Amino acid sequence: MPGVAAGFLFRTDSPVAFVDFFVGNPRAGRAELFRALRDVLLGLEADAKGAGVKMLVGHTRVYSIAKIAKLCGGHAVDGSYYCMAKEL
């Protein structure tokens, strides 16, 4: 989401890809930022699926990113980091 949030998709030579480095504009409102991060994750997921990726994984220390992953159908495991995974 231009000016509000971004994230990155890292593809490998396997059917697994990684999402990471989510960032948000600190000037954005909480609801706007949450929606933008959700849309970024869904966009990265669509790109991965279109490229033939079968499993999307990531990790974060930020609870709201893990919450977004869960809301988008993924699984998140709590710990000092949240580990996220979604079968595509």
Task: Tell whether the model's pLDDT for residue 77 goes beyond 90.
Answer: no
Residue 71: exposure state from Cβ atoms within 10 A (0-12, 13-18, ≥19) = exposed
Calpha distance 50→67 (Å, rounded) = 24
> What CATH number does the domain containing 75 carry?
3.40.630.30
Task: Tell whether the model's pLDDT for residue 76 goes beyond 90.
Answer: no
pLDDT at position 1: 63
Q: Tens digits of per-residue pLDDT, 39-72?
A: 999 999 999 999 999 999 998 888 888 888 888 8
Provide the residue range defining the domain that includes 12: 5-87
Which tokens in the block code for residue 74?
């993924």
Q: What pTM was estimated for this model as a whole?
A: 0.88
Structurally, how many domains does the chain consist of? Answer: 1
Task: Tell whether the model's pLDDT for residue 81 goes beyond 90.
Answer: no
Higher pLDDT: 79 or 63? It is 63
